[in-house]
Amino acid sequence: MSEETKFVLGEDAIPTHWINLLPDLPGEPLPPLSPATGQPAGPEDLTPIFPMALIGQEVSMEPEVAIPDPVRDAYRLWRPTPLYRARRLEQALGTPAKLFYKYEGVSPAGSHKPNSAVPQAYENAQAGVRKLVTETGAGQWGSSLGFACSLFGLECEVFMVGSSYDQKPYRRSMMRTWGATVHRSPSDLTESGRAQAGNATGSLGIAISEAVEVAAQNEDTNYALGSVLNHVLLHQTVIGQEAIAQLELAQAFPDVIVGCVGGGSNFAGLVFPFIRGTLRGENRIRYLAAEPAACPTLTRGHYAYDFGDTVGLTPLMPMHTLGHDFVPPPLHAGGLRYHGAAPMISGLVKAGVVEARAYRQNETFEAAVRFARTEGIIPAPESAHAIRGAIEEALAAKEAGEERTILFGLSGHGNFDLAAYDAYLGGTLEDPEFSEADLETALAALPQGTPALS
Ligand SMILES: *Cc1c(COP(=O)(O)O)cnc(C)c1O
């Protein structure tokens, strides 16, 4: 085992392909359903809002998809990202476990999201689209898409979830610096927004409805989603491929991999290149998805067909969901405030390949501060869920007296989330719960008459 702390690769090690897990998943892929007919959705349901190249990636059954050269060139701005050995955290925990983390906060926007924003902007520009419109929770996706649009000469319009718009003024400034226009959601610019005016804090589901509505109504405008869909998860697999090469440099191989899950894209990006080996019987890694207890999609949601947005404009997707009109409490981990999880991740949880755990807001920040005081980096509140899970695993290894290797995803930095850290340090951070009654209310909105999934 080498003594190094940071494992870095040269630009020539940026992957040439994305890894598509679809052909390796257990069972037949379940089709999305058209919101109009309830029948399996075809490309024609998606062409009003997505370019053909991305629709092709969404349904591709090729195990690998080539990364276009201009996208790889843009990736050079921050990739390969570093893999760290968390030696100081290991020491503080007194664990025999080896802890590694893959850090995506070195991208211009400060998270993993540009990994997909860049190819999405590129393919839309290639297709002659003039403007991309999207939603953003904490502002991470909006800023990533704003950045990516600036690289390829596209306009960018962002509907930002109300509670984040109020809490995170500097994320707004970033988007505007890259040239994007930002609206507070729910807005009065769309029918979907006007219909949800009563939900003042907003939600990702509502903001998605607004963005999809604008894209569907304008010929030269497309929509871009920052998570959940197969092609977004595909783009993120550069993370895990680099991690495999970096762990080889460290002469290590993971026993368990931990990531946080909002829609599931950073988790998928880290684990899919490893899970392919697991599904093929080549390794026996455990996978742990960490989510907020106040928005417990994977641990308490139903596995059912549901809409991706609040109003019901998107295709119905097979996923773990709390019901499309569930409005989660205004958590600081805004990127995890989503009612559903990616169909591919949901299927893996259903199949027992991925285990899910939920953490409360305060215990998550406790882990974040512990991490900041040992490893230095101030983590995004979303990423802190993965840290919490990794610390639990490290303590379990200590309890068992086993030298396990734990890899976790540090999806972004928290340098724009300092108001949340102030609240935690001042003892005023809320710790919202999710009761049985909340669950019942949330699930009551599940669409009726869709095929049962069991
Ligand atoms: C958006 C975001 C997430 C959650 O989204 P996923 O698609 O589940 O990855 C997690 N971490 C950070 C830093 C984010 O910006």
| Separation of alpha carbons 288 and 321, rounded Å | 18
Q: Is the CB of 143 under 6 A from ligand 1?
A: no
- Does ligand 1 come within 6 angstroms of the Cβ of 261? yes
CB-based contacts of 34, cutoff 8 Å, min separation 6? 40, 41, 42, 45, 315, 316
Ligand 1 lined by 335 (C-beta under 6 Å): yes
Ligand 1 atom index nearest CA of 226: 7
Please state, in angstroms and rounded to a whole number, the distance separating the CA atoms of residues 116 and 425: 34
Mutate to test the pocket of ligand 1, among 101, 104, 106, 111 (most ligand atoms within 8 A of CB): 111
- Letter string b/e over residues 234-254, b meaning 16 or more CB atoms within 10 A of that residue's CB: bbbbbbbbbbbebbeebebeb
The two three-digit tokens of residue 352, written as one number: 């027992």
**Ligand 1 pocket: which of 81, 103, 112 to mutate (most atoms within 8 A of CB):** 112
Decide whether any atom of ligand 1 lies within 6 Å of the 262 Cβ: yes
Ligand 1 mean position, distance from CA 5 (Å): 25
Q: Say how many Å lie between the CA of residue 335 and the centre of ligand 1.
A: 5
Find the angle CA(116)-CA(375)-CA(274) to the nearest 5 degrees. 45
How much distance in Å is there from the Cα of 423 to the middle of ligand 1? Answer: 21
DSSP 304: E
Q: Report the C-alpha dihedral over residues 17, 351, 328, 217, rounded to 10 degrees.
A: 50
Torsion of CA 218, 33, 237, 121, to 10 degrees: -10
How many CB atoms within 10 Å of residue 126?
A: 14
User: Among the atoms of ligand 1, which is closest to the Cα of residue 111?
Assistant: 13
At 2 the pLDDT is: 53
DSSP string for 240-289: HHHHHHHHHHTT---SEEEEE-SSSHHHHHHHHHHHHHHHTTS---EEEE
- 87 C-alpha vs ligand 1 centroid, how far in Å? 25
Under a CB-based contact definition with an 8 Å cutoff, are residues 353 and 279 in contact?
Answer: yes
Residue 161, strand partner residues: 185
The domain spans of the chain are 6-11+69-110+232-444
Phi-psi region of 159 (alpha: psi -120 to 50; beta: other; left: phi over 0): beta
How far is the C-alpha of 57 from the C-alpha of 154, rounded, in Å?
21
Does the C-beta of 411 come closer than 6 Å to ligand 1?
A: yes
According to the model, what pLDDT value does residue 243 have?
A: 98
How many CA atoms lie within 13 Å of 97's alpha carbon, on the beta-carbon side? 29
Name residue, tokens 């101030």. 378
Listed in order, strand segments (DSSP E) in 47-143 are: 64-66, 83-85, 98-103, 131-136
Which residue, among 32, 19, 26, 101, has the nearest Cα to 60 in the 3D structure?
19
| CA 261 to centroid of ligand 1, rounded, Å | 7
Whether ligand 1 lies within 6 angstroms of the CB of 336 is answered as yes
Atom of ligand 1 nearest to the CA of 383: 11
What is the β-pairing status of strands 302-307 and 316-321? antiparallel
Which residue's alpha carbon is nearest to atom 14 within ligand 1?
335
Query: Ligand 1: does its nearest atom lie under 6 Å from the Cβ of 142?
Result: no
For ligand 1, whether the C-beta of 278 sits within 6 Å is no
Can you tell me which atom of ligand 1 is nearest the CA of 110? 13
* Contact indicator for 360, 368 with CB cutoff of 8 Å: no
Question: Residue 380 CA: which ligand 1 atom is closest?
Answer: 13
CATH topology of domain 6-11+69-110+232-444: Rossmann fold (3.40.50)
- 113 CB under 6 A from ligand 1? yes
Measuring from atom 1 of ligand 1, which residue has the nearest CA? Answer: 335
Q: With a 6 A CB cut-off, is 380 part of the ligand 1 pocket?
A: yes
And the tokens for 96? 């025999």
264 CB within 6 A, ligand 1: yes
* Sheet strands side by side (includes 181-185): 181-185, 155-161, 131-136, 221-223
Which residues contact residue 173 at a Cβ distance below 8 angstroms, ignoring those fewer than 6 apart? none
Q: Do 246 and 275 meet the contact criterion of CB atoms below 8 Å apart?
A: no
Q: How far is the CA of 11 from the centre of ligand 1 (A)?
A: 24
d(CA 141, CA 335): 9
Q: Which is the closest atom of ligand 1 to the Cα of 228?
A: 7
pLDDT at 454: 67
Question: HSE-up of 227 (CA within 13 Å, CB side)?
Answer: 32
Q: Is 129 helix (H, G, I), strand (E, B) or coil?
A: coil
**Candidates 106, 145, 382, 383: which one to mutate for ligand 1, based on the most atoms within 8 Å of Cβ?**
382
For the chain (454 residues), the mean pLDDT of every run of 10, in chain order, is 86 98 91 91 88 96 98 98 98 98 98 98 98 94 98 98 90 97 97 94 90 94 95 98 98 98 97 98 98 96 92 92 87 85 97 97 98 98 98 98 98 95 96 91 88 80
**Does 263 sit in the ligand 1 pocket, CB within 6 Å?**
yes
Q: What is the distance between the alpha carbons of residues 286 and 288, in angstroms, rounded to a whole number?
A: 7
